[in-house]
Structure 1
Amino acid sequence: MAHGTPPVVDERVPLAQSPESPLYTPFIPPTQSPTEMTLRALLLGSVLGIVFAASSVYLAIKVGLTVSASIPVAVLSIAIFRAMGKSNILENTIVQTTGSAGESLAFGVAAALPALLLLGYDISLTHAFLTAALGGVLGVLMMIPLRQGLIVQEHGKLPYPEGTASADVLIAGQEGGTNARTVIIGFLVGGIYKFAYSGMKLFREVLSTPLKGLKSATLSTEVSPELLGVGYIIGPRVAAITFAGGVLSYLILIPAISFFGSGLDKPLLVHTGTLIRDMSPDQIRNAYVLYIGAGAVATGGLISLIRSLPTIIGAFKRGVESLKASRAHGGVPQMLRTDQDLPITVVLVGSALLVLAIWLAPPLQVNFMSALLIIVFGFFFVTVSARITGEIGSSSNPISGMVVATLLVTCLVYLLMGWTSSEDRFMALTTAAIVGIAASNGGTTAQDLKTAFIVGGTPKRQQIALFVGVLTSAMFIGLVLVTLNRGATVTIPEPHPGVTVTEMTQETRTQYTFPWAVSADALASRGLDEAALRKAAWAQGYDLASNGGAMELRSWRQVSAQDVGAVTLSPTGGSQVKVADLGGVTQGPERTFKEGFVRGADTPVPAGKYLVDDAGSIQYVVDPGIGGRISTYEGQALTRYAAPKAQLFSLIIDGILTQRLPWDLVLLGVFIALMLELCGVSSLPFAVGVYLPISSSAPLFVGGMVRYFVDRVRGGESDFSPGTLLSSGYIAGGSIAGVLIAFLEIVTDGAGSRAINLPALLGHEGVIGGFLNTVGESELAHPVWSNIWGLLFFAGITLFLLRSALKGQSAAPSTPHGK
């Protein structure tokens, strides 16, 4: 979890014996053996782990951030078991351990795997599952021999702030204190609020306005409950620095590029040939600013890693020394329950099997050298991650820097070996993803083992629970990622005559056509033209094409001409009208297109998936929801997930293996990051702000400012404070609602989302319909009133968070407790 205050050193809630005691006695002493690893604990932990993993995937592809699930999982476990009649602290600890595994896997999967879409591949469920499962298992395996040294022998020296905070919540719950109600309220408010704007379109998701007097400058914000919650949790400093990066991007860099490029007569760095003077602010960002942001993010990550080098080297040395010392008397039976780890043979045999599994699993496409690199890097970075999280907490753990370092070394090795094909890029990304997941899960595992050490859990049972949490979450993480991507994927006409794909698949897509005899008199009487019809048809899931005056509606769904004729259109500036009222609709011929991918270094069109005709020419682009390059079509804003970390990883792979990165722009980002470091400002969150749309960093800033005010009034916040718990609920509720809406889009092929779109259903003629089309998510929305209406709702959940944070009671007794 990210925090805005320094980590604890020696202080914690004094509910158990002081950690400075040389013979530490946990809350449940080893002489007692209460019920611990039960089936219900594993089931509940797995379910909660899947829920919070799904929310973490959503956050990671949206803004490149995740927050810890340990505290809310612990609080919910206490409440649920107490509602069932009894609550046992060690059983709750198993739930917390199992549940927290999902979040650590989600970050690695959602940060890295979307880069496949940018390299011209699809995200495979099997590949995602194997990557998550093998990386997670590697992280747990490598922590087993390190536990004795890092958790036990270093107790009193390594605070493990998140693990200690989780223990405090569990102990407080055992003694009668919990606040699960706050998490549940936040979950419900966040979910209903998200459904209101993302599903029912009652108000706009992104509020935006151009700044007059500064060309191409825009201010915008999402009215997002999950981003508001993240901003509260990461605190005012990180939130403000991230927002400052967005200000640089949208109020300085984009206007500057627009100003200086407006007189250019040729395009720069873009495939489409669009001139800068013809670009929108978002197009300028995608074509130029993203490279600057990538240079800044990579530099920030590497600086974070370099700054941690003394800690990393010391952590690795002490970790190995602790491992040797703990195994020096390995022949002596471990008598105490709280000293029982899984045997070292599990680690050795498991590691050997992992190498074989990574090497031999066809979906991973990893050769033996890369499999060995994964194990070597995995052991190194798990050791480093476990030590760093013990010293300064998970928020300061440079996982992205570790992935970037792995990717750089791997790509350089590949370049020396001459492995530069598109398949080698796929393998490089898989290698770095598994290492990143292992490092992330290693740090989380260390925090969980610390929690168990304080409360008196049995280590080997915790380790088994971690394996269960990894495998159950891994089964759903890929599904959530694929669902979010497919739910926002659009197929858009983009003909490239004579251009063929680099790899054809066996998949085909059938297009259904419906000639439409539109009456010119019917159009004239309603004041409509072809452009208005095209926009209205697209809003209902149909593509309108015309050739020599003859119009044709096209759909990828199998429907009848009668169904098409009954569709109600809501054209801009006109009244609602049925398709059949404008002209007769007949069944036309079916067309079949083949799916193919464009990959490689020198391609005339961007990498991605395309549909080609019988002649082999590209006719349509299948633009993904994650990292898609088309943000609007026919006046409709498309749902897009920025996936900033995935964008960075794909740029690194392409830049090294194809040697065609636009270094001028990348180096601008490098020196921006270096300038910030010289000014004493952390460059990584600032760089992420440059990379993200300002609409994503603005709600983070609002949440951070709420946290700032609460901290000033209350004198600081704890991990189990009401504001933090409500924010966790906002994040989970809003994210899960987003996943469910995407799932609805897929299973109904878009019909479900259109059925709950109230502005489109009601039209703009009645009082209610006219009002919703003026202020809601509609093409007819008034630019001022819709912004004010959306801000009122966002202000409502912001004030509710502020009120709850100021008036609520913490879930544990309040004592001086750093985080």
Structure 2
Amino acid sequence: MSHGPSQETAVSDESQTTTERAQRDGPAPTVPAGKSIAELTIKAVLIGLALNVVLLTANMYLGMRSGMTISASIPAAVISMGVFYALRNVGIGGTILENNIVQTMTSAGEALAAGVIFTIAGVTYLDQSIDIAETASVAVLGGLLGVLFMIPMRRYLIVEKHEELPYPEGTACADVLEAGSEGKGGIKLISLGFLSSFVYMWLANGMAAFRTTIQTAFSVGQTRGFAIGGDFTPALIGVGYIIGPKIAGYVFGGGLLAWMMLIPLLITGGFVPEANANAALMAQANAVWENYIRYVGAGAMLVGGFYAILSMTGTIRDAVGTAVAELRGSAATATGQRRRTQRDLPMKLVVVGAAVIALALVALPQVQVGLLGGVIAVIAAFLFVAVSAYLVGVVGSSSNPVSGMAIATILIAALALKSTGVTDPVVVLVTASVVAIAAAVAGDTSQDLKTGYLLGATPRKQQIAQIIGIGISALFAGWVLSFFHQAYGIGSNTIPAPQAGTMALLSEGVLTGTAQWGMILIGAVFAIVLILMNVPVLPFAVGIYLPITLATPIFLGGLLRAGIDKYVAWKGDPDGSAAEQTTYRGRIIAAGLITGEAIMGIVIGALYIRGIGTETGVPYPLGLDAGTQTILGVVALVALLGIFMGGVLRGSQTADA
């Protein structure tokens, strides 16, 4: 395998023919390397910062609600195109590379949100409040590690592995930006999804006009505790549509294993916690899931994470080789003599920056992970940055198993720290938070760099934009997290934050000796069986520790995607243009669904904080009975699906206008 560019390669770069470069570096970019256009400008930074905060908030809500976040690159690209289109009407245009900077900065907020809500939010499960300063400190340190550690891997993963690693969101985002002249069409699509979702969730949660959740538990013969149901909200359906039927099916498969197999076996076998022994059957199922089944998911995630690391040894070796080769070369060779599209931030900055962050993890009073915790965090961050950057190249950022990497870190850190006398699970949780945030940011950074590679962006400028985006996201993350906790309560039915609960449970369980190691072992063995069968482990594990009410609508979204694709193929699509058009339209509308529900969540949360609806649970209830709410819920769901399909299929045979 190649270990990156040598000094001779860099020096002779400009003397190579176009054909030789294409064979080495992949397809010709939209903006040639020899052409310089506006890129990292003040207006691009300002627009990027504004969208960063909005989509940070939206993804924190979505992630705590569904257990999954969605890459913000595509909606950010569409929105920024609309903004630049409006500015162009008043004489202030924007280039395609400025649009790319905006989506790069915006998606940084989404990525950082994932790491924060999957880990730091878990302190609320440990009866501690959200510390805004601590959240900001951990977020910025973890985020910077994610960007810095990705730099030496960029050339290997993005350029040399161009054909092997498609980076789906990054490639799709490049397609969207290249179609920037169709900005009006993209804005119409995302507005359709946004408004549909916004109204839907206002009627459901603002006025209690209908129910979104339908669930039931039942017995078959002597076996008790089968449970099935769904919380059919726009965001969850949008998640399923974007990740597609295959990954959605794996998630739902994990849910079926947990709720239709393991939970009935445990309830029938008398494993219901004593406090819930006389509760309704659905309550018993929830209690068993919380006390036992999530450990099974944790075990599966642990094995899946380590298996991913083993699969990545070649990539890690090559990345280290690239870094060493550049450090041995002169500064001029590393930067000045490379073409614009191959210039990264210098490796010396990576090394010095990582060292400073390691010291900060030990020294900053807001972090307090100690020397051992800091060492574990930095080493694990480097390993899992490599895993994350590779995996998202295959399955995409939305399916990036950040929580699995955090679980692996928690188990390692908890066992190591326990041996030194540490008894506070928050210390373990914070250590894992650094790793989770670094892994999430690295996955997003790699997608953004893929987009830039296809467009002809300057990697160094994208990396600077990512760092700026990380900084602003970190400042707001604690405030947003605290807002949602005040409004809904982290761990409530509205925002169950399943990963955060699992992380807290594991951190405390390992330190106190109460961890369900037997259940963890069951999950680990199950994961090994899946690996032997060549079945993806991590989506199944996500399904196991998600409530079935979240896995079901995600699966419905995946089925919707499959049905639309089959319909388009049945109608006739000889050149594949109709399928490409429906994929584009569907992703944009689905992004609108997710954003609309998230923004409505903010609106209703603000009303709760003001005291409106806190007694009834609904700000402005209509007073309808349960039966009517259920019937209207089915009608509303069918209407939502109809609007979605109509919006997607309307452009399936023609180009988007």
Shift in Å, 1:665? 4.4
Moved more, 245-254 or 474-483: 245-254
Shift in Å, 1:286? 4.1
5 Å-filtered alignment, 1:31-46, equals 31-46=34-49
- Is the aligned partner of 1:731 residue 2:594? yes
Distance change >3 Å, CA 717–CA 18, structure 1 → 2: farther
Say whether the 8 Å CA contact 2:211–2:633 is kept in structure 1. Answer: yes
- Is the aligned partner of 1:653 residue 2:499? no
- Alignment partner, residue 238 of structure 2: 229
Larger radius of gyration: 1
Shift in Å, 1:649? 1.6
How many Å separate the matches in 2 of 1:275 and 1:439?
38
- Is the aligned partner of 1:143 residue 2:145? no
- Alignment partner, residue 96 of structure 1: 103
Which residue identity is paired with 2:591? Answer: S
The one of 120, 123, 129 equivalent to 1:122 is 129
Which residue identity is paired with 1:796? Answer: A
How many Å separate the matches in 1 of 2:219 and 2:272?
28
- Alignment partner, residue 353 of structure 1: 356
The one of 60, 64, 70 equivalent to 1:61 is 64
Can you list the C-alpha shifts for 1:566-609, whole angstroms capped at 9, x where unaligned? xxxxxxxxxxxxxxxxxxxxxxxxxxxxxxxxxxxxxxxxxxxx
How many Å separate the matches in 2 of 1:794 and 1:390?
34
5 Å-filtered alignment, 1:142-181, equals 142-173=149-180, 179-181=186-188
- Alignment partner, residue 211 of structure 2: 204
Aligned to 2:23, the other structure's residue is in SS state coil
Distance change >3 Å, CA 258–CA 717, structure 1 → 2: farther
Shift in Å, 1:78? 1.4
Moved more, 429-438 or 249-258: 249-258
Distance change >3 Å, CA 163–CA 209, structure 1 → 2: closer
Distance change >3 Å, CA 644–CA 248, structure 1 → 2: same
The one of 805, 808, 812 equivalent to 2:651 is 808
- Alignment partner, residue 11 of structure 2: none
Distance change >3 Å, CA 408–CA 49, structure 1 → 2: same
- Is the aligned partner of 1:466 residue 2:472? no
Matched pairs, number: 621
Task: Report the identity percentage.
Answer: 36
Can you list the C-alpha shifts for 1:239-275, whole angstroms capped at 9, x where unaligned? 23333433444444444444443xxxxxx674xx536
How many Å separate the matches in 2 of 1:54 and 1:447?
21
TM-score, normalization by structure 2: 0.86
How many Å separate the matches in 2 of 1:113 and 1:323?
31
The one of 558, 566, 573 equivalent to 1:712 is 566
- Is the aligned partner of 1:26 residue 2:44? no
How many Å separate the matches in 2 of 1:682 and 1:339?
34
The one of 749, 760, 768 equivalent to 2:611 is 749
- Alignment partner, residue 344 of structure 1: 347
Say whether the 8 Å CA contact 2:276–2:284 is kept in structure 1. Answer: no
The structure where strand makes up a greater share of residues is 1
Shift in Å, 1:225? 0.7
Aligned to 1:363, the other structure's residue is in SS state coil
Moved more, 297-306 or 699-708: 297-306
- Alignment partner, residue 107 of structure 1: 114
Shift in Å, 1:185? 1.7
How many Å separate the matches in 2 of 1:154 and 1:687?
28
Shift in Å, 1:433? 0.7
Q: Which structure's relative contact order is higher, taking Cα pairs within 8 Å and 6+ residues apart?
A: 2
Which residue identity is paired with 1:627? Answer: G
- Alignment partner, residue 700 of structure 1: 554
- Alignment partner, residue 540 of structure 2: 686
Which residue identity is paired with 1:108? Answer: G
Aligned to 2:166, the other structure's residue is in SS state coil
Distance change >3 Å, CA 459–CA 703, structure 1 → 2: same
Show structure 1 runs of 5+ residues with no match.
1-15, 262-267, 489-624, 629-638, 760-768, 775-780, 814-819
Can you list the C-alpha shifts for 1:542-579, whole angstroms capped at 9, x where unaligned? xxxxxxxxxxxxxxxxxxxxxxxxxxxxxxxxxxxxxx
5 Å-filtered alignment, 1:591-670, equals 625-628=489-492, 639-670=493-524
5 Å-filtered alignment, 1:429-440, equals 429-440=429-440
How many Å separate the matches in 2 of 1:33 and 1:26?
13
Which residue identity is paired with 2:98? Answer: E
Can you list the C-alpha shifts for 1:385-417, whole angstroms capped at 9, x where unaligned? 223434554356443332222222211211222
Which residue identity is paired with 1:70? Answer: S
Say whether the 8 Å CA contact 2:415–2:510 is kept in structure 1. Answer: yes
TM-score, normalization by structure 1: 0.70
How many Å separate the matches in 1 of 2:85 and 2:20?
28
Distance change >3 Å, CA 31–CA 705, structure 1 → 2: same
How many Å separate the matches in 2 of 1:279 and 1:362?
44
Distance change >3 Å, CA 322–CA 302, structure 1 → 2: same
Say whether the 8 Å CA contact 1:50–1:473 is kept in structure 2. Answer: yes
- Is the aligned partner of 1:382 residue 2:225? no
RMSD: 3.1
Can you list the C-alpha shifts for 1:648-705, whole angstroms capped at 9, x where unaligned? 2223222321112244444454455555556654443333333222222221122111
Distance change >3 Å, CA 220–CA 389, structure 1 → 2: closer
- Is the aligned partner of 1:795 residue 2:646? no
Distance change >3 Å, CA 160–CA 719, structure 1 → 2: farther
The structure where helix makes up a greater share of residues is 2
Aligned to 1:457, the other structure's residue is in SS state coil
How many Å separate the matches in 2 of 1:269 and 1:382?
39
How many Å separate the matches in 2 of 1:17 and 1:229?
42
